[in-house]
Amino acid sequence: MTTFIPYELMFNHAGKLRHMTGGQAAFPMVLWADMAGRQAFQAGQHADAGLESAYARLAGLKVVVPSNPYDAKGLMISAIRDVDPVVFCHYSMPATGPEVPDEPYTVPIGEAIVRTEGNDLTIVGYAPQTTEIAKAVVELKKDGISAEFIDPRTLAPLEGVMEPILKSVRKTGRLLSSDDGSYSFCNCAEIIARVAEAVPGVKVKRLAFPDAPPPGAPEMLHHMRVDAGKIVAAAKKLVRG
């Protein structure tokens, strides 16, 4: 799990130095932040998630969250080359997705990606929810619902990330967000707020972990965590309800 030992550095110095010196100095760096996952038997201290939101709210920082090995390598190279401080939030990820080339390449910071195209609703979520959303999209298709799945990849800044999300929501009229973080103040709540401001009349729904420490018992954790089944149920209600 990431610790908050470097948080004071990021809050008071890394993100603000360029602004405090009128552009005369900068603090280019990459903070690798190992994020915990919602795993059974680990209990509250080691099975939390969503702490990337603590960094995403800090002005001057860039925050990326890859969901597959290809994006991880490309975003890391982009982060190293960036002139601003970047927080690289790492979750355990499945060894799936595009083949990872041996040679260097970049994945742009600040650009979301449409994982699956659809017309009935827009689903937004990032690692580690991408695995559950991908399963849900397949199940929804079997039931005649076409979902467009967008992976933000970057949580700060959001300006470029919002462009494909807004385009998608204007097409579908519905937005479902799925977040492994806590329900209150999760990153997807910010995305929903921006969509609601820009697209009048849009129907929205937020799925996230309850505002409570994660339990150690697998049955209790499964009950609380957002999974493909919960995403499918929420999507059907949003489309047909």
DSSP helix, strand, coil percent of the chain (3-state; round to 5):
40, 20, 40
133 and 226 share one domain: yes
Is 104 domain-assigned? no
What CATH number has the domain bearing residue 77?
A: 3.40.50.970
| Half-sphere exposure in the Cβ direction for 179 (13 Å, CA) | 28
State residue 3's pLDDT score.
45
pLDDT average, residue stretch 70-90: 96
Would residue 99 count as lying in a domain? no
Q: Report whether 235 contacts 147 (CB < 8 A).
A: yes
Are residues 78 and 159 located together in one domain of the fold?
no
29 and 84 together in one domain: yes
Say whether both 69 and 120 belong to one domain: no
On whether both 138 and 182 belong to a single domain, the answer is: yes
Q: What is the average pLDDT across 208-230?
A: 91
Residue 96 in any domain: the answer is no
Output the six-digit token pair for 197: 């401001």
47-61, 112-126, 208-222 — most confident range: 112-126
pLDDT at residue 167 greater than cutoff 80: yes
pTM of the entire predicted model: 0.93
Domain annotation covers residue 101: no
Q: Could you tell me the residue range of the domain that residue 40 belongs to?
A: 7-90
Domain boundary among 27, 57, 90: 90
In this structure, the answer to whether residues 119 and 77 fall within a common structural domain is no
Domain membership flag for residue 61: yes
Q: What is the reported pLDDT for 2?
A: 42
pLDDT at residue 1, as a whole number: 38
The pLDDT of residue 45 is above 80: no
To the nearest whole number, what is the mean pLDDT of the chain?
A: 92
pLDDT band at 102 (very low <50, low <70, confident <90, very high): very high
Residue 103 belongs to some domain of the structure:
no
- Cross-strand partners of 182: 209
Q: Which of 210, 235, 232, 236 lies closest to 223, judged by CA?
A: 210
Buried b or exposed e, range 133-153, using 16+ CB within 10 angstroms: bbebbebbeeeebebbbbbbb
The three-class DSSP label of residue 152 is coil
Q: From CA 63, how far away is CA 55, in angstroms rounded?
A: 7
126 and 67, same domain (yes or no): no
Position 47 pLDDT exceeds 50: yes
The reply to whether 125 and 203 lie within a common domain is yes
14 and 58 share a domain? yes
The tokens describing 213, both together, are: 């420490």
**How confident is the model at residue 213, as a pLDDT?**
87
Question: 203 and 166: one domain?
Answer: yes
Q: Is the pLDDT of residue 233 over 60?
A: yes
- Of 22, 55, 90, which one is at a domain's C-terminal end? 90
- What pLDDT is recorded for position 224? 92
CB 2 within 8 A of CB 37: no
Q: Give yes or no: residues 86 and 143 share one domain.
A: no
pLDDT for 5:
52
Does residue 195 or residue 15 have the better pLDDT?
Answer: 195
Residue 138 sits in the same domain as residue 233:
yes
Residues 82-90 have a mean pLDDT of 94
Kindly tell me if the per-residue pLDDT of 49 is higher than 90: no
- The amino acid at residue 26 is A
Quick one: pLDDT at residue 228? 97
Q: Using the CB atoms, write b or e for 161-174: b if 16+ within 10 Å.
A: bbebbbebbeebbb
Domain count, the chain: 2
Q: For residue 211, give the CATH number of its domain.
A: 3.40.50.920
Query: Mean per-residue pLDDT for 120-124?
Result: 98
User: Between residues 36 and 141, which one has the greater pLDDT?
Assistant: 141
Q: What is the pLDDT of residue 115?
A: 97
Residue 216 in domain: yes
Residue 203 in domain:
yes
